[in-house]
Each structure stands twice: as C-alpha cells, then as structure tokens.
A and B are shown apart, each in its own frame.
Chain A
C-alpha cells in the first residue's frame, strides 16, 4: 500500500475549473469532452426543473443541465460568459451549464481534502472533495452524482 501511495504522489491531475454563480468548482479535465457556448437550446416542457433544455451538438442530441439549479445555487444566468461543459456520459452526452469558465489547475491529489458536509450552502454529496490553492478553494464535483437521475422524485411526479 505504501508503495502505491508513493507512486500516486508523483502524478498530478488537471482540474478544469469554472464558476457556478460565485462558487468555484472543478472537475477532472479528462472527463470533459469539450466546452462550448452554444446557447440555442430547445426547452423541454415537463422536464425536471434543473434541465435547461436540449442542444444539437453536430447531430447529437445533448441534454443540458443547469449546474446551478442542480447544486441548489439558483439558476445560472445565460450571459456572454456562460458555457456548456460537454461530458461524455455512458451512452449519451450531457452538458453542464456553468456561469463562467476559469483556469486549468494542476492539482496534487494528496492535497484534496474531503468535502465538508455543506460547502457555502451546496449539498456536500455532489462533491468528492475540496482543493486549496494559494488563494482559492475549489470544490471538486462528483460527476456521477450530478448526473444521477432522481428517479424516485421524478417518477412520482409523472405517474398517472
């Protein structure tokens, strides 16, 4: 075990960081397929409220999730700076709408600390950890959790 830890120390991961409202979040850059600013979304009536709509990405239908809504930070305002982060989820592409893209940060996995139960009002369950740089705190998103479908709530709402 000790050996493997040593090995991991030498590797750093790159975090793509972005703002959701005022919260700085990050995710492993390898999970990002692309970032775009296509905002011509088609609304889907009856969809869960965290869904902004669907988008045509070169012939693929991409579901766009408002990350702000999903994390409980309020709607992401669509502006010149807002972007979609397209993630290659199993079987489909999903886009996360964020307020603003920030830098790519080289992170030492050792220094990622477990996420506090609530981080500036966000549900802790959406984060795998937090990463401290000299002047900023980056919440690292648990993409799986973000993309998980709350089928219980949704199912009930749509039954009959």
Chain B
C-alpha cells in the first residue's frame, strides 16, 4: 500500500469519526421526536451512514461496510415513514454507532471483529419493524478474539508497517546481510526470511496499535480553518518585513525610525501571538456533545426522567484544556444524574415536575471561561456534609460550627470525602469530588458549589482560556527571579519591620503569620531551596546576606533574630556590612520588612517569604531539561524581558518539600497555637494542656509547650520493626510509643485513624500514639499528683467534668527507651555524694509545678529545698544561703514575686553570684526585659524539662567550680 493510500485511509477515518460524532446527537433528537419524524434529520443520519458504508467498501473494510449497511437499512425505513422510531430501536442504532466508532478507531483490525449481534438486531428491525428484546441489556458485546484469518491479518499488517519506514529499512538491512551468515548453515533462506518478516510485522502492529490507543486520548493533529492560516501567513510576512526594516535601521543608525519599527514589531508580534493562540482554540461543544447520550443512558438505567439543556457550545477553549476537562465534567454530570435528581416518584411527592432538568452552560467571564452544571434535584444538605466531615475527622466540630452554609457544602471537595451512602457503579466509585478538584487544579481552574436543599445544586467551574501563556507574579530571592502563577496567588502581604514581632509567631517548629484573625503557615523560600538567605535593602538597592534564622519565636517575642545582633558575629564579615549594622538598626529599617506571597494550592494556603516582590507579567512556559526533572520545586522556566531565565515555582510541591502536609495539619497547628497563645495572654499562671484520648473512656493531657506537632496518620502507616513501632516522618523513622506500654491504662483503641503527638526529647523526635478528639485547653484546676500517679502519669486534673490524666512523656520514654538518655548531657546524673551535690532552691506557688521540678532535680541527683513564695524563699536564703548553689523561681507568686526575689538576691552581697533561673509561662518582651534588668540569668518556659535541666547543669557546674 502506498503512502497515498494511507492518506486516503486517514481521511476516511477522520471523516467517519466526524459523522459519528453527529450521528449520536441526531439519533437522540430523532428519539425525542418519536412519531413526528424530522425528515431532514433522518436524512442527515442516513447520509452519514451511507458515506461511511461507501468509504469502507472502497477501502476493503468489509465489517465496517456491513454494519453501516445494516444501519442504513433501518434508517431508510424510518425516513420513508415505514418505521416509527422508539427508544428500543434508537438504542440498537446507538449501539451500532458506538461499535462503528470502535471499529474505525482501530481500522487495522476491524475486519476480524465479530459484529453479528449488531447486524442481527438491525436486520430484525429491518424485517420485523421492532427491536428484539435483550440487545439493550447487553450494551457492550465483548469483542470476539481476533481470528487468525490469513487474508485479514496480511491486509492489516501491510497497513501497519507503512507508518514505520525506518523499521522497514532495518529489516531490509538485516535481510541483505543474511546471505553471508546463512551460507554456513543449511537453512532454507525463504523460510527464514518469512519468519523474520512475520515477527517484524507483528512488532510493527503492536506499536501502531499503541499509537492508535494514545491518539484516542489526545489528537496529534488539529483542524484549522484556511482563513486563519492565511492570516498567520500574512502576519509572518509582516514580521519578516519589519525585521528587514529593523536591520536597515540598525545599520543606518537612524534612531527616530527605530522607534517606529519597534512599535511595528510590537504590534505584529502581539497579533501573531493571538492568531496562533486561536489555532489552539476549540469549541467546548466537542466535549458537551457527548453528554446528551450520557444523561440519556444513565437516566434510563436509574429509572429517572431527565432533560439536559446545553448552552454555549461555541465557547472556545485551548485544546489541551478541552481534552482535560472531559473526565471531570463527565464525573459531575453523572453525579447530578445519580445523586442530584430524584426518582420520578420522589419528585411527584414533592410537587416537582417528574422530569428533572440539568443545565450545562458555558460562558466567558472576566477573561476566564465558566462552566456551570445546575440541576433542580434534591440539593446538598450542608449540615449533613459538615456532620460527615466531622465524623471522618476532616474538620473539627468547632470548625463546622462557624462555617457558612456555602463553606459546608464545599467541604465535599475535601480529599477523602464522598457523600454517596453506598457505592454505585454510576458515580460513587470510591473516587469522589476531590479527584475532580485535583484535575481542575492541575489545569489552573477552580470549582465552587452552591446548593439549596430541595431546590437543586449548581456547580461552577472556572477555567483559564489557555495554558500556554499565563500571568505570573515575579518575586526575587537570593538574587534570582522566580515566577508564581497567578492562579495560585491569593494576595501579597508586606509586614513592616515594626509589625513583624507582633504578627509573626512560632508554633512548634513552624512559623505562622496572623492574617485577619487567621493563622497562616509561613515557608521561607530560601530554606526550602537551600539558598543562602539574603534580604533586599531598598536604600542601597542591593541584596545582602541575611543571618536571621527565625522570624519569630514564641518564647520571647524579642526573638533570637534580634538577639543575634548583640552577639558577636559568628564569622568574619565584610567591613561594609559591619558599618551598615552599626549605622541603622536593621530591625527598624525598611529592609527588615517581610515580603510574603500568600499562595493557595487546592486544599492549602500558605505564605511564602521572599526577598522582593516585582510586577506581575504574562509569561510563556518552557519545559526544563532532563537533568532538572528531579527538582520538584519548579513547574518550568520562562524567559524574562531582559533575556534571562526565571524559574516557575510549583507551589504545591514547595509545600510538600517544606513538610506542610495538608489543610487540617496546618490549620490544626494554627488552632493549637492560637489556644496556646490565648492561654498565655489571658491568664498568666495557667498551664495549657493538649488533651487527647487513648481509649474510649480515658482522657489524657500533656503540657502544650512540650508538643512539637500533631500529625494525623493511618494505622497502616505504623511499621513494626525490630520489636518497636515506628513510622516514616520527614525522611527518618519516628519511634512511636503508646501510654499503655508504660502505665497501666487501657490499651490503645484499635482504629484506623490515629493521631501522633510529636515530642522532642533528648535531641530526638518521638511520637505518642493517641486518638481524638484532641483539644487545647488551659487549666487552672488543681492538679492532683497523688491519687492517680503512676509511672508515666504525673497526676490528674478535672477538666470539663472529666478526670484527665497528665502524661509524663519523659518518664514514658525513660522507661520504654532508657538507653536514649544515657549519653545525653541534660540527663547525666551528678555522681558526687549527698553532701557535695549542689542544692537548688525551688520557689514556686503551685504545688504541682513545684513537685514536678523537684522531681526532675532529684532525679538528676541534686538536693532540693522548696519554697512556696518569694518571701519564704528569702527566709530560707537568709538562714541557709551558704548551702544553696542556685535558685529556680516562678515569676507570678503571692506575697513576693519572682522579680522582687531576684532583685533582692542579686542586690545582696552574699548571694549576688548565685545564678537565678526564672521559670515562667510569661514570655513577653517587657517581662524578659524586666527580668534582665533585675538580674535573671536565664528564662525558661514552664516544664520544658529538656532546656531547664541543661542550663541547671551548666550553671551549677560553673558555680561549683567557682
């Protein structure tokens, strides 16, 4: 077969597929018309079948020809009015059209396909005037295995090898070389050759088939109107002319003319760009047209009566988008049919029209295309959705309470949510709306749901017109520019230097910013990408290295970042830099302001800290080379106006790289932070606890400031290795313990959704297994450290009318993993005998805390003297001051507070060298400043045993040496 023939075949395939695309909708229209036959329409379908038959006959595709012929016969009857089309007949015709489509898509093998079920059905209609029962129950007959018919196979083989000329050439080469080798072996040359060719043909056939399969999904060719091509040609000609002009201008050095030429080129290129974009545009009707059939078939199967109205078929979208929205749209339409519209009986009961209505609408709005799918079905019940979401642990009950109806409805888009009560084969196939959302996110689109119970649901999808050119926000970090796609951009935030302290806080190891009452997790771009941190100085217009590690710290809001400045520089730095530092205090200068790009990606939203914010620009996406495919933070690259390249950031991967796992993870963290903060500001001497459960009837709490993070995991995430439970966490293994391993409490509930509370002990992370509900509360309640005390439990308190056991995570770890602590300085015990051991005065009004701290100290081998307030402490010092090595004091106490005590201690000659550690829940700047002023040596957050013990060791050692 020559290449010319191949082209004819290709033409036949394209034309036939176009015919078939129309046939489907026309048949549905005929069905609707019933006895009232639209001759024109029937004629059209008849002609389509006829031309497919003719073409197939010409190409020798007998099976296609036969099927088209049988269909044509039936259509002929309808046309002449001898047959009234009923749904059954139309069904048979539709199935035949489907089969034709399949055959034509795989033309090479079409002659070997068994189509007898279709032809028999069609012929029965032709002869008897009615459809046979049964055919509709078997809508997709299994294709008969390809018969090893010699003739057919050869024909197809010939066609298949055609598009692979290289392959042929290779075969020829092989065969030409053959005779040399074959001379040695007594082999029938002919046999060998045929065998070889047969294998090659088979191989070629496979590749062609694969190619055919892939073209089904994305067409590699596109139809463009000639007028558009002419326009492109014209513009290209214009561009060449302008170029010549430009070259001339440059040689002659005529500046005035250059301006004119520049403008001309500008104009021509923009027009050219638009025209080229147009070639990629296709009407959305290409996707919409298949839905009448989908709705018809589905509603029939479900026993519903549904009309589909389509508006805006002509709206054009980029080809890639058209192809990609097919699946999400199908899913949504099926959802509407399956779950949205009620059964006719239900509708009648509610006084609605028994026929349901689905409207599919596309239109332009604000430079985007909006697709709306609305139904007049039962609507979505926000309360039920919220309830289900709470039950699944996607949100908390408190969150649900404050949500608007619309927000609740949109919960349906959260991953892991599916409202279908039972899995049906129609739409509830285990994948839910979240998949639709993910698909749309990838396209840079968005989805929104609106619904009223009993009235119906409207889903709006917003899509960009094209993907090739996208508007982007340009930012700068580390002296390089980066582009952030505008679809991901929520807003730009600049926090002035003076406000940084107030608005940026630290939760565990994450930084957050306060934004209109919400906490937004922050990611420093430099950290994620491992760029040397820099900041931009607008006064000197240069980028300088930055040494700040934290933007904020909860312990002390004057934060390490500013403390840094007092400390001697860790490494020698340029004189220029030092001068700058001594000149303007950076914390006050504009350069210390934070530039934050608030981005959202599907379910999560975060702030990306960058050095500078630039303009927004329309950019062209270019792929990155193979060597950079593994760098996950980039979606591509683009060329900027000055010819340099800027990388395009992939905001969702950046979130992943920074360990920001999901919406609830970060939101929960923010809430806990909020609670913790409130606890600190509201009452100055209360303990914030994180409460959780481990079994249904026992409640536990741990001090919130010991908690690093709370993670949600599935049971299967837990691995049992070497007799211990671990899970993968930030690239390492996180050891897991449960309370029942150490304390005699009920065993951990056996359920799928577990929580892991992450602590940091002895320099390592450890996870405590727990179950919900978790909450952060503050307790001023009396803590009973006798009744329920046991290994791993430090005491109990009544919280919200429930007895809550307070977990001592240090003890749990010490019992379950004693070797952890052996080589850690903070836990090294004092080896000296009783008399020589340092004595520590603990001043604390709360019984509970005093006992806790005392426990820590005695455990480490120190002698301890207790005092319940400053006055008592002072008396103790007066009496036995010489025996006391150091003082650990609370700040808020009756009679005499910690500040006064410290002042007295430091003001007394006898004690002025005695170290004083303040142990407190207060950590505001002014408090720290005041503490420093009166001579506090160090501040510690209450019950951060780790740090406290480290500094106690340090100070006692120094004091003993003196």
> Does the CB pair A46–B530 fall under 8 Å?
yes
> Does the CB pair B645–A54 fall under 8 Å?
yes
Chain A hits for B529, CB < 8 A: 45-46
> Does the CB pair A54–B639 fall under 8 Å?
no
Which of B338-346, B422-430, B624-632, B872-880 makes up part of the contact surface? B624-632
CA distance A147 to B643 in the complex (A): 26
> Does the CB pair A55–B645 fall under 8 Å?
yes
- Please judge, given known A-B contacts A42-B647, A56-B643, whether A48 and B480 are in contact too, CB under 8 Å: no
Kindly state whether residue A158 has any CB partner on chain B within 8 Å: yes
> Does the CB pair A158–B647 fall under 8 Å?
no
> Does the CB pair B627–A61 fall under 8 Å?
no
> Does the CB pair A51–B628 fall under 8 Å?
yes
Kindly state whether residue B517 has any CB partner on chain A within 8 Å: no
Kindly state whether residue A44 has any CB partner on chain B within 8 Å: yes
B532 to A, closest residue via Cβ: A45
> Does the CB pair A149–B626 fall under 8 Å?
yes
- Please judge, given known A-B contacts A44-B647, A154-B630, whether A63 and B530 are in contact too, CB under 8 Å: no
Q: Distance in Å from the Cβ of B397 to the closest Cβ of chain A?
A: 32
Kindly state whether residue B633 has any CB partner on chain A within 8 Å: yes
- Chain A interfacial residues counted at CB < 8 A: 31
> Does the CB pair B637–A61 fall under 8 Å?
yes
- Please judge, given known A-B contacts A54-B645, A56-B644, whether A47 and B628 are in contact too, CB under 8 Å: yes
Chain B hits for A48, CB < 8 A: 627
Kindly state whether residue A160 has any CB partner on chain B within 8 Å: yes
Chain B hits for A40, CB < 8 A: 643-644
Kindly state whether residue B143 has any CB partner on chain A within 8 Å: no
CA distance A151 to B637 in the complex (A): 21
Kindly state whether residue A15 has any CB partner on chain B within 8 Å: no
Chain B hits for A154, CB < 8 A: 630
> Does the CB pair B644–A158 fall under 8 Å?
no
A91 to B, closest residue via Cβ: B626
- Contact with A94, one of B531, B625, B637, B730 (Cβ below 8 angstroms): B625
Chain A hits for B624, CB < 8 A: 54, 61, 63
> Does the CB pair A62–B647 fall under 8 Å?
no
Name which of B480, B626, B643, B644 has the most chain A CB atoms within 10 A of its CB. B626
A54 to B, closest residue via Cβ: B645
Q: Distance in Å from the Cβ of B40 to the closest Cβ of chain A?
A: 51
Chain A hits for B645, CB < 8 A: 42, 54-56, 61
CA distance A61 to B627 in the complex (A): 12
> Does the CB pair B627–A160 fall under 8 Å?
no
A55 to B, closest residue via Cβ: B645
Q: Distance in Å from the Cβ of B629 to the closest Cβ of chain A?
A: 8
> Does the CB pair A46–B633 fall under 8 Å?
yes
CA distance A56 to B625 in the complex (A): 12
Chain A hits for B530, CB < 8 A: 45-46
Kindly state whether residue A7 has any CB partner on chain B within 8 Å: no
> Does the CB pair B627–A94 fall under 8 Å?
yes
- Please judge, given known A-B contacts A42-B647, A151-B630, A158-B630, whether A61 and B730 are in contact too, CB under 8 Å: no
CA distance A60 to B730 in the complex (A): 36
CA distance A54 to B647 in the complex (A): 9
> Does the CB pair A46–B730 fall under 8 Å?
no
- The total number of A-B Cβ pairs within 8 Å is 78
- Contact with B625, one of A43, A45, A92, A155 (Cβ below 8 angstroms): A92
Kindly state whether residue B200 has any CB partner on chain A within 8 Å: no
Q: Distance in Å from the Cβ of A41 to the closest Cβ of chain B?
A: 8
Q: Distance in Å from the Cβ of B841 to the closest Cβ of chain A?
A: 48
Kindly state whether residue B623 has any CB partner on chain A within 8 Å: yes
CA distance A8 to B451 in the complex (A): 78
Chain A hits for B388, CB < 8 A: none
CA distance A54 to B624 in the complex (A): 9
Q: Mark A28-70, 1 if CB is under 8 A from B, else 0.
A: 0000000000001011111110010011100111110100000
Kindly state whether residue B731 has any CB partner on chain A within 8 Å: yes
Docked complex: B177-213 residues within 8 A CB-CB of A: none
CA distance A147 to B625 in the complex (A): 11
Kindly state whether residue A159 has any CB partner on chain B within 8 Å: yes
Q: Distance in Å from the Cβ of A81 to the closest Cβ of chain B?
A: 23
Chain A hits for B730, CB < 8 A: 160
Docked complex: A121-158 residues within 8 A CB-CB of B: 147, 149, 151, 154-155, 158
- Contact with A155, one of B628, B630, B643 (Cβ below 8 angstroms): B630
> Does the CB pair A63–B639 fall under 8 Å?
no
Name which of A42, A45, A51, A94 has the most chain B CB atoms within 10 A of its CB. A45
CA distance A44 to B629 in the complex (A): 12
> Does the CB pair B625–A61 fall under 8 Å?
yes
Kindly state whether residue B478 has any CB partner on chain A within 8 Å: yes
- Please judge, given known A-B contacts A61-B624, A61-B625, A149-B626, whether A46 and B639 are in contact too, CB under 8 Å: no
CA distance A147 to B647 in the complex (A): 22
Chain A hits for B646, CB < 8 A: 42
Chain A hits for B480, CB < 8 A: 42-43
- Please judge, given known A-B contacts A42-B647, A61-B625, A149-B626, whether A47 and B637 are in contact too, CB under 8 Å: no
CA distance A63 to B628 in the complex (A): 8
Q: Distance in Å from the Cβ of A153 to the closest Cβ of chain B?
A: 10
Chain A hits for B622, CB < 8 A: 59-61
- Please judge, given known A-B contacts A54-B645, A61-B645, A160-B730, whether A45 and B531 are in contact too, CB under 8 Å: yes
Chain A hits for B632, CB < 8 A: 158
Chain A hits for B531, CB < 8 A: 45
Chain B hits for A51, CB < 8 A: 627-628
- Please judge, given known A-B contacts A42-B480, A56-B645, A160-B730, whether A47 and B631 are in contact too, CB under 8 Å: yes
Chain A hits for B731, CB < 8 A: 159-160
Q: Mark B803-839, 1 if CB is under 8 A from A, else 0.
A: 0000000000000000000000000000000000000
Name which of B637, B646, B731 has the most chain A CB atoms within 10 A of its CB. B637
Name which of A47, A55, A93 has the most chain B CB atoms within 10 A of its CB. A47
CA distance A62 to B197 in the complex (A): 42
A95 to B, closest residue via Cβ: B625
Q: Distance in Å from the Cβ of A147 to the closest Cβ of chain B?
A: 8
B627 to A, closest residue via Cβ: A63
Chain A hits for B626, CB < 8 A: 63, 89, 91-92, 149
CA distance A92 to B625 in the complex (A): 6
Chain A hits for B628, CB < 8 A: 44, 47, 51, 54, 63
> Does the CB pair A62–B625 fall under 8 Å?
yes
A155 to B, closest residue via Cβ: B630
Docked complex: B640-672 residues within 8 A CB-CB of A: 643-647
CA distance A42 to B476 in the complex (A): 12
> Does the CB pair A45–B478 fall under 8 Å?
yes
Q: Distance in Å from the Cβ of B641 to the closest Cβ of chain A?
A: 11
Name which of B531, B627, B644 has the most chain A CB atoms within 10 A of its CB. B627
Q: Distance in Å from the Cβ of A115 to the closest Cβ of chain B?
A: 24
Q: Distance in Å from the Cβ of A87 to the closest Cβ of chain B?
A: 11
Chain A hits for B728, CB < 8 A: 160
Chain B hits for A155, CB < 8 A: 630
Chain B hits for A45, CB < 8 A: 478, 529-531, 633
Q: Mark A4-44, 1 if CB is under 8 A from B, else 0.
A: 00000000000000000000000000000000000010111
- Contact with A158, one of B625, B627, B631, B639 (Cβ below 8 angstroms): B631
> Does the CB pair A149–B631 fall under 8 Å?
no
B526 to A, closest residue via Cβ: A45
> Does the CB pair A63–B643 fall under 8 Å?
no
Chain A hits for B639, CB < 8 A: 56, 59, 61
Q: Distance in Å from the Cβ of B625 to the closest Cβ of chain A?
A: 4
When A and B form their complex, which 5 residue pairs have the shortest distance between CB atoms, in order from nearest? A63-B625, A45-B529, A42-B645, A92-B625, A160-B731
Besides the contacts A92-B625, A158-B632, what 5 more A-B pairs have beta carbons closer than 8 Å? A42-B646, A43-B478, A46-B530, A56-B639, A160-B730
Can you name 18 A-B pairs with beta carbons within 8 Å? A42-B637, A42-B645, A42-B646, A44-B628, A46-B529, A46-B633, A47-B631, A51-B627, A54-B645, A56-B639, A56-B643, A59-B639, A61-B623, A63-B627, A91-B626, A149-B626, A154-B630, A160-B728
- Give B contacts to A, CB under 8 Å: 478, 480, 529-531, 622-628, 630-634, 637, 639, 643-647, 728, 730-731
- Give A contacts to B, CB under 8 Å: 40, 42-48, 51, 54-56, 59-63, 65, 89, 91-94, 147, 149, 151, 154-155, 158-160
